[in-house]
Structure 1
Amino acid sequence: MPNQVSEEIIEEVRRSNDIVDVIGEYIQLKKQGRNFFGLCPFHGEQTPSFSVTQEKQIFHCFGCGKGGNVITFVMEIEGYSFYEALRLLSGKSGVELPELSDQRESSASQESQSILSASEWIAKLYHHLLRFTKDGKEGYQYFKDRGIEDATIDEFQLGFAPNIKGFTAEFLKKKGFHQQLLVKAGLLSLSEDNTVSDRFRGRVIFPIRNHLGKTVAFGGRSITEQEPKYLNSPESEIFQKGKLLYNFDIAKKHIRKQSEAVLFEGYMDVISASQAGVKNAVATLGTSLTEAQARLLRRYVDTVIICYDADSAGNEAAYKAATLLKKTGCHVKIANLRDNMDPDDFIKAFGAEAFQKEVIESSLTFTNFYMRYLKKDYNLTLEGDRIQYIEKVLEFLATIDSSIEREYYLQEISDSFSVSMDSLTQEIANYRQKLGTGKDKINKNRYTNRAPNDNYMKKLLPAFQNAERQLLAYMLQDAVITDKVQEEIGASFNMDDHKIIATNLYAYFEAHQEPDVSMFLEMLNDDRLKQLVTEIAMMPVQDSITNEEINDYIKTILAENYKKQDIQTLKEHQKIAEQQNDPIKAAEIAMQIIEIQKQWKKIK
């Protein structure tokens, strides 16, 4: 780390940001025993193998191996440099950082920083024009006609771009921004006569923010006959619409609190729903739900309610989104909207309370929705279509693990189509046999079933290596044990990585009295070693350990060390024998080496 930031300030930033709180802003964490578990944000998974310990202030993924402290996490998740991660964390905790003189420390380009700054200025300008000037009266009236209150306009920073060709360009020029950059970013448009104008002029403006609350793009809606009706910022280094969700920065705290998210199709649906009290509302950005967006939601919640327009196109989009969300492991529900209504229309017609109770809280299960969705493909007045429909539904029900859920919907089919439960149950059994589905899975994907078991590691590693890992785990949390190991083993660990970790631990405890894994990680420059330390630190250890047990670990390690030394000595003697043209002695020594190796294999 550059000299401009002292070790004391780094430590103050780290200590003032609890790792559980910080990581909890990115993924859903659930407590299990002493640690917290969630889905790893660094690799795709449907069952949680990502562990966070509040006591040690570190994280480790048992799936991909990533690990570290709170600073490491921010660097990894945001793609930040060390200083940028410090800056973000210091902003959360109020610790002041010195400004870096070396601009190379910033991983984000100056160009991107300028675009972010320009976007913030434009968002403020458009909002001010809408709320407080005659130029924005037209846009303000549009939102009023849609039933949007002033407080909501302010919360979402809604704005209006006046239909004046050079208005925004001149404003940004005075702020010191280069027009060429603004055109490249899509904030301004270049005309055929090489003059610039506001890309969004004459439109109401919806600022699009990233998960940190930074404005990265804009959505504009025409309020006249201007085409196209909707216009978004072009994609750039700071804006990829397939990776962001509208309003996610505001909604994420409500999503975590309520353990579910409500997914809409458009900006106005989110704004109206939020005003109606549905604060965990997000939306895609003018496209179908993407895999990246689905994974983002899954990291935060188990349950997603899809609230799309209740027409043919909306049902089709809801089915596709639900299928994608289910693949990521989400529990999916479908909002119970009345036919051919959109969320905004429903709220205006029936009010906020009715929307929450009749639409959101009365959401359909995905199975219920799917059974309704399938009916569009069949004429159920025809006997053949009815049979095909039932068979199609049974194929789907066969994939459901819960026998109770299967029986519930089988009973519904039995009642609706006058088919016996025995026939339906037999048909389901046949389908499940074809699928190779075994017994019903109970408590699938439960966090409590995902406790990492360190025994698998012990089985895979030789005894001396397990002993070194266990000893290092105790050394990481006890200075007295570290002193004892330094005195009796020193650097005589058999694994090179373990030697380096132990040597650094000796140095750490010379400078610090109390064990602190998170602080120790900052001493290591090798990312691979940092991950190994977090993995070892996460190993289950006893609250107290006897001298005899520590001595056993030390004996195992030294015995392996002596064995290696014995073999090395014998190999040197073998080499001398060969040089002296004594093949019989060389062969005898070779047999000794083989015998020692055999004995040690048996011991392992």
Structure 2
Amino acid sequence: MNVPDSFLESLRQQVDIVEVVSEYVQLRKNGRSLTGLCPFHNERTPSFSVSPERQMYHCFGCGAGGTVFRFIMDIEGLPFAEAVAYLAERQGIALPAHFGVGRTASNPKLERFREAHALAAKVFNHILMNTDAGVQALNYLLSRGISRTTIMSYQLGFAPKPGNVLIPFLKRKGFSESELLECGLAVELGSAVTDRFRGRVMIPIADRKGRVVAFGGRAMDEGVKPKYLNSPEYELFHKSQLLFHYHLARKAIRKEKQALLLEGYMDVIAVQQAGIEHGVATLGTSLTEEQAHLLKADCDKVVIAYDGDQAGRKATVRAIDILEGVGISPLVLRIPDGMDPDEYIRANGATAFARLLNRNTLSVVQFLLDELRQGAQLVSAVGRTEFVRQALRILAERATPVEQEYELRNLSQEFNLSVETLKEELRTFSKQSKRRTFGRETSGSKTVAQPLARADQQASIRLLQAVLFSREAAEYLMEKGLTELAEPVQTALLSNLYAWRLENPDGSPSAFVDQLEDESLAHFASSLFFYEVPEFSTALLDDYLRALELHRLEQLHRSLLRQWIEAEAGGDEERSTEIKLQVEQIQDQIATLKQPRAIHAE
């Protein structure tokens, strides 16, 4: 990539990494850095740090790290050139001459797919709003309380039942049949290639940047299966990784500090029209872990407002587990009479739904107890006993002490049991729950306590920092002939640092990280920015060099001692004497290095 270093440095200084990362990760102040849950691996305890001062990020859990360029590369799956272009566009900065050509050429096929979908959305919307073919569909939407303003806002449309309308139009625009088949707008019927969607209300599905990449089509004729038909998956559309309305809802989700998770497109449109803007929906599938991670970047709470029927309640239970698995606290909206949100709003109005959202939201424990009650046989003594036991199990595994106290009193009153008896039984379930939890954590946890770094490892970190952050220190260490550090990865990074320093004596440390082609070295280099950087003096550098030499001599001393013992045991007096002299020399050198010296503050 032929981009001037001066442009990259200027862009790097103008982009605030905290602002960029905050669009994907909830960050909280922690000393001089900000921390959050890493977006690159599963974790419940934050190990992801961002330094506003040094404009770097690093995860101490999975090792991901680098500058804002690396973050966009990792989070959006872009090559370096496209990450630079993305950030320049975000800042409103013009790219250098000829840069745009390289960017477009990186994946022209995907740009064509986006263009085809954008045109398709306009065609479908025009048919709905301006032609006789769209009258029935338009009346249907208006009858459901969806206004013309909302229709235009969501670019809702209609695909006529005879079909073969969209494909001829797009072919006139220069798109080939193979392109339209590959991105899911066309389908082969016998020997003909025709429109995939026919006789359906069309709902555009956008990616995280608001670009149309797929459609959901709702059948107009009763009895047509499936009722909702989505575009097939291809490079730009993976149902498990997107949420409907997410690009529009993010701002409201961050403001409300929670999301409203709905089951269908029409539910989202209905609640948004009712003035509730933080609603999103899955794309015809159960909630996935990838979708939960999307939400986790913007909020810690999610209200699940699935349909109130049995299928909706089962889906709610699954969603609770997924959300809790990524560290989100779920709540559940109980909608009366088995209705879905769209039906409730049409029947009772927007104000009633807003009131329901405020008053009828249950905790997970309350929802699970309510779900348990739905299937309980409370008319029999055995059924009542089993219900109480299962309720206590839920309280033991999921409830806070306050919730336990509250629900125990309710159970006591309802079933005429003493609170003390219920608490005794609860303690039994609590012990069982703790044993199961302990077993899962000890067998499945990937995080183990790490031993403290050895003195030579710590010295190696400091020496790497010296070369990275100080030109004078780098020159001093090169003159001293330092070429090897405690660990192979440290030695490899030192070699790269020397080469970079020789070419860029006054280069920016951030620029060094960006030019590293080895991703593992780039991640390791980013960690150097998150240790305190001392004022490097020659005396301090000598101390670090001495720590390295001392460790090397101690290792050599241990090796010679083993050889000495083997020589004596084998009766080889000549070799034993030779090794003894070497041991004594090493001992003298170690003693010299360990002599007290002036303490240099870091």
Per the normalisation by structure 2, the TM-score is 0.85
Indicate how the Cα distance of structure 1 residues 354 and 551 shifts in structure 2: closer, same or farther if over 3 A, else same. Answer: farther
Work out which of the residue numbers 273, 276, 279 in structure 2 matches 1:275.
273
Counterpart in 2 of 1:447? none
Gapped runs of 5+ residues in structure 2? 439-446, 595-602
Indicate how the Cα distance of structure 1 residues 38 and 359 shifts in structure 2: closer, same or farther if over 3 A, else same. Answer: same
Work out which of the residue numbers 491, 499, 516 in structure 2 matches 1:496.
491
- Within 5 Å, give how 1:310-321 maps onto structure 2: 310-321=308-319
Counterpart in 1 of 2:26? 28
CA contact (8 A) 1:335 1:359 kept: yes
> In structure 1, how many angstroms separate the alpha carbons of the residues matched to 2:355 and 2:21?
32
Indicate how the Cα distance of structure 1 residues 397 and 176 shifts in structure 2: closer, same or farther if over 3 A, else same. Answer: same
Partner deviation per Cα, 1:338-388 (whole Å, 9 max, x = no partner): 122210122122222221222255411111111010112211121110110
Gapped runs of 5+ residues in structure 1? 441-451
Q: Which amino acid aligns with 2:52?
A: Q
> In structure 2, how many angstroms separate the alpha carbons of the residues matched to 1:567 and 1:298?
48
Partner deviation per Cα, 1:317-357 (whole Å, 9 max, x = no partner): 21221122222222110013212221012212222222122
User: CA offset at residue 482 of structure 1?
Assistant: 5.4
Indicate how the Cα distance of structure 1 residues 383 and 345 shifts in structure 2: closer, same or farther if over 3 A, else same. Answer: same
Counterpart in 2 of 1:211? 208
Q: For 2:110, what is the secondary structure of its paired residue?
A: helix
Counterpart in 2 of 1:383? 381
Counterpart in 1 of 2:523? 531
Indicate how the Cα distance of structure 1 residues 177 and 592 shifts in structure 2: closer, same or farther if over 3 A, else same. Answer: farther
Counterpart in 1 of 2:544? 556
Q: For 2:338, what is the secondary structure of its paired residue?
A: coil
User: CA offset at residue 62 of structure 1?
Assistant: 0.8
Indicate how the Cα distance of structure 1 residues 509 and 468 shifts in structure 2: closer, same or farther if over 3 A, else same. Answer: farther
Which one is further off, 556-565 or 214-223?
A: 556-565
Work out which of the residue numbers 62, 67, 70 in structure 2 matches 1:69.
67
**What count of residue pairs does the alignment treat as equivalent?**
569
> In structure 2, how many angstroms separate the alpha carbons of the residues matched to 1:383 and 1:116?
62
> In structure 2, how many angstroms separate the alpha carbons of the residues matched to 1:171 and 1:270?
30
Which one is further off, 396-405 or 308-317?
A: 396-405
- Within 5 Å, give how 1:339-354 maps onto structure 2: 339-354=337-352
- Within 5 Å, give how 1:553-592 maps onto structure 2: 553-561=541-549, 564=552, 586-591=575-580
Counterpart in 2 of 1:221? 218
**Given the alignment of the two structures, is residue 462 of structure 1 paired with residue 454 of structure 2, yes or no?**
yes
Counterpart in 1 of 2:144? 146
Q: For 2:259, what is the secondary structure of its paired residue?
A: strand
User: CA offset at residue 560 of structure 1?
Assistant: 2.5
Counterpart in 2 of 1:308? 306
Partner deviation per Cα, 1:427-452 (whole Å, 9 max, x = no partner): 11111222336999xxxxxxxxxxx9
Indicate how the Cα distance of structure 1 residues 43 and 567 shifts in structure 2: closer, same or farther if over 3 A, else same. Answer: closer
Q: For 1:518, what is the secondary structure of its paired residue?
A: helix
Instruction: Give % identity.
Output: 35
Work out which of the residue numbers 394, 397, 403 in structure 2 matches 1:396.
394
CA contact (8 A) 1:130 1:137 kept: yes
Q: Which amino acid aligns with 2:214?
A: A
Indicate how the Cα distance of structure 1 residues 589 and 351 shifts in structure 2: closer, same or farther if over 3 A, else same. Answer: farther
> In structure 2, how many angstroms separate the alpha carbons of the residues matched to 1:185 and 1:304?
32
Indicate how the Cα distance of structure 1 residues 190 and 410 shifts in structure 2: closer, same or farther if over 3 A, else same. Answer: same
CA contact (8 A) 1:486 1:506 kept: no
> In structure 2, how many angstroms separate the alpha carbons of the residues matched to 1:112 and 1:373?
45
Counterpart in 2 of 1:446? none
> In structure 2, how many angstroms separate the alpha carbons of the residues matched to 1:157 and 1:21?
30
**Given the alignment of the two structures, is residue 170 of structure 1 paired with residue 159 of structure 2, yes or no?**
no
Q: For 2:302, what is the secondary structure of its paired residue?
A: strand
Partner deviation per Cα, 1:14-51 (whole Å, 9 max, x = no partner): 33322122222222222222222222121111222111
Counterpart in 2 of 1:336? 334
> In structure 1, how many angstroms separate the alpha carbons of the residues matched to 2:299 and 2:481?
48
Q: Which amino acid aligns with 1:281?
A: G
Which one is further off, 279-288 or 121-130?
A: 121-130
> In structure 2, how many angstroms separate the alpha carbons of the residues matched to 1:438 and 1:408?
25
> In structure 1, how many angstroms separate the alpha carbons of the residues matched to 2:49 and 2:536?
28
Indicate how the Cα distance of structure 1 residues 563 and 270 shifts in structure 2: closer, same or farther if over 3 A, else same. Answer: closer
Counterpart in 2 of 1:197? 194
> In structure 1, how many angstroms separate the alpha carbons of the residues matched to 2:477 and 2:184?
62
CA contact (8 A) 2:455 2:547 kept: no
CA contact (8 A) 2:25 2:298 kept: yes
> In structure 2, how many angstroms separate the alpha carbons of the residues matched to 1:319 and 1:566?
59
Counterpart in 1 of 2:427? 429
Partner deviation per Cα, 1:229-269 (whole Å, 9 max, x = no partner): 21111111221212211111111222222211111000000
> In structure 2, how many angstroms separate the alpha carbons of the residues matched to 1:180 and 1:438?
54
